Amino acid sequence: MATSPDPQRFMRRAIDLSRLHMEAGEGGPFGAVVVKDGEIMGEGWNQVTSSHDPTAHAEVVAIRRACAKLGAFQLKGCEIYTSCEPCPMCLAAIYWARLDRVWFANGREDAAAIQFDDAWLYREVALPPEARSLPSTQLLREEALPVFQSWDRKADKVPY
């Protein structure tokens, strides 16, 4: 796993993005950059409120932009620098994108101190669906399962 030659430079960029776009009223105080071979491939900042998109967290935006720039759905060989420890959604996106490393500045406790507390979400995700506070009901599995079985047999599928 390669490490960028100047991690502080990239972290400072993530922090600058968090400050700049928070002060501009575009969303919460979060910024992120995806780096490959010492070059920024994608930048992101929190755009939840400005884009009316609850998934528009800095890390997700940076991942989307890096994937678009690289023409790939995986970011192997890349690292992400984020101004705060990723929330569960962003952490999952980072894993799905196959990033090599996460660098973060503020911790989850720092985020909780300013009312961005993800502790409850970390707990909820670990529970079986029937024990979560959000009601979840399995429905029409028999109709959906054949689609999965077709995928399993599909000769030209692109696994991810």
Strands 78-84 and 101-106, how do they pair? Answer: parallel
- DSSP assignment of 11-78: HHHHHHHHHHHHHTTSSSS-EEEEEETTEEEEEEE--HHHHT-TT--HHHHHHHHHHHHHT-S--TTE
Burial class (CB in 10 A: 0-12, 13-18, 19+), 158: exposed
Active site residue 142: no
| List 59, 79, 85, 124, catalytic entry | 59
* Strand (E) or helix (H) holding 95: helix 88-97
Q: Enumerate the active-site residues.
A: 59
